[in-house]
Structure 1
Amino acid sequence: MSGSVEKKYYLNLPMWPEFDIFDKTVDGLIPSARIELWEDYDRVVRFYCDNDHEGNYVFRGQKHYKWQLEPTLDRLVQGAVTEDIATKQLRNFKLSTRGRLQDKSVLNSDSELWALGQHHGLATPLLDWSLSPYVALFFAFEGADDPTWLDGDTGELNNYSRTVFILNKSFIQDLIDGEDVTQAGEQLQIVEPSIDDHGRLVNQAGLFSFAPYGEILESSLEKHLADSGVDIDDVTEVAKYICRIHIPNKPDTRQACLKKLRKMNIHHASLFPDLIGASGYCNDLIRDAILGASKHLLYSEPANSLISTESEEQSSEKSESNKKHRLDKANVKGALLDALIIHDSIYKSVIPKDLMYVVDELLSFINEKAGVDWYKKESILARLRNVVRRALRKHKFPDDYLNDAAENLIKMAADKSEEVDREACKSDEGGE
Structure 2
Amino acid sequence: MKASSPLEVEHYQEQAIEYFLNLPIWPEFDIHNKQIDGLIPSCRVNSWEEFDQVVKHYCENDLDGNYVFRGQKHYQWQLEPTLDRLVKGAVKADLAAKHLSNFRFSTRGRLNDKSILDKDSELWALGQHHGLATPLLDWSLSPYVALFFAFEGEDDATWFDDNGDCNNYSRTIFILNKVFIQDLGFDDLEPDGTSLKIVEPSIDDHGRLVNQAGLFSLAPYGETLESSLYTHLTDSGVDVDDVEKVSKYICRIHIPNKPDTRFSCLKKLRKMNIHHASLFPDLIGSSGYCNDLIRDVINSSMNKSESVQVEKTAEEIIKETHASSPWAMHKLPKDVTGLLLQALIVDGSLKAKTNPNNLSKVVDELIDFINEKAGVDWYKKDSMLARLRNIVRRSLRRQQFPDDFIDVATEALISKSAAMSADVESMASKGIK
TM-score category (smaller protein):
0.7 to 0.9
Instruction: Give the match for residue 312 of structure 2.
Output: 309
User: 1:5-404, aligned counterparts within 5 Å?
Assistant: 7-152=17-162, 154-176=163-185, 181-297=189-305, 309-310=312-313, 312=315, 315=318, 365=331, 376-378=361-363, 381=366, 384-385=369-370, 389-391=374-376, 403=384
Counterparts of 1:374 and 1:289, CA distance in 2 = 42
SS in 1 for 2:376: helix
What letter is aligned with 1:204? Q
Counterparts of 2:317 and 2:375, CA distance in 1 = 27
What letter is aligned with 1:294? M
- Sort the Cα spacing of 1:392 and 1:281 in 2 relative to 1 into closer, same or farther, 3 A: farther
Counterparts of 1:232 and 1:19, CA distance in 2 = 13
State whether residues 126 and 209 of structure 1, in contact with CA within 8 Å, keep that contact through their aligned partners in structure 2: yes
SS in 1 for 2:95: helix
State whether residues 132 and 205 of structure 1, in contact with CA within 8 Å, keep that contact through their aligned partners in structure 2: yes
Structure 2: 5+ residue runs without aligned partners?
1-13, 322-326, 338-356, 393-433
State whether residues 332 and 371 of structure 2, in contact with CA within 8 Å, keep that contact through their aligned partners in structure 1: no
State whether residues 16 and 169 of structure 2, in contact with CA within 8 Å, keep that contact through their aligned partners in structure 1: no
Could you tell me the TM-score, scaled by structure 2's length?
A: 0.73
Counterparts of 2:89 and 2:365, CA distance in 1 = 48
Q: CA deviation at 1:250?
A: 1.9
Counterparts of 2:333 and 2:57, CA distance in 1 = 47
**Number of aligned pairs?**
354
Q: CA deviation at 1:369?
A: 6.2
Counterparts of 2:143 and 2:49, CA distance in 1 = 13
SS in 2 for 1:377: helix
Q: CA deviation at 1:378?
A: 2.9
Counterparts of 1:33 and 1:192, CA distance in 2 = 29
Query: Once the two structures are superposed, what CA deviation does each residue of 1:276-328 show, in whole Å capped at 9, x if it has no partner?
Result: 11111111112111221222349999xxxxx993465964997xxxxxxxxxx
Identical aligned residues as a percent = 64
SS in 2 for 1:244: strand
State whether residues 16 and 168 of structure 2, in contact with CA within 8 Å, keep that contact through their aligned partners in structure 1: no
Counterparts of 1:249 and 1:9, CA distance in 2 = 14
Query: Once the two structures are superposed, what CA deviation does each residue of 1:230-263 show, in whole Å capped at 9, x if it has no partner?
Result: 1100000000000000001123221111111111
Counterparts of 2:358 and 2:331, CA distance in 1 = 13
State whether residues 365 and 384 of structure 1, in contact with CA within 8 Å, keep that contact through their aligned partners in structure 2: no
Worse-matched range after superposition: 35-44 or 4-13: 4-13
What letter is aligned with 1:245? I
State whether residues 36 and 76 of structure 2, in contact with CA within 8 Å, keep that contact through their aligned partners in structure 1: yes
- The structure number with the bigger radius of gyration is 2
SS in 1 for 2:49: helix
- Sort the Cα spacing of 1:237 and 1:378 in 2 relative to 1 into closer, same or farther, 3 A: same
Could you tell me the TM-score, scaled by structure 1's length?
A: 0.73
Counterparts of 1:367 and 1:173, CA distance in 2 = 66
What letter is aligned with 1:278? S
State whether residues 160 and 166 of structure 2, in contact with CA within 8 Å, keep that contact through their aligned partners in structure 1: yes
- Sort the Cα spacing of 1:45 and 1:309 in 2 relative to 1 into closer, same or farther, 3 A: same
Instruction: Give the match for residue 325 of structure 1.
Output: none
Counterparts of 2:303 and 2:334, CA distance in 1 = 21
Structure 1: 5+ residue runs without aligned partners?
302-306, 319-360, 412-432
Counterparts of 1:29 and 1:299, CA distance in 2 = 47
Counterparts of 2:94 and 2:16, CA distance in 1 = 43
SS in 2 for 1:252: helix
Counterparts of 1:78 and 1:110, CA distance in 2 = 23
- Sort the Cα spacing of 1:308 and 1:5 in 2 relative to 1 into closer, same or farther, 3 A: closer
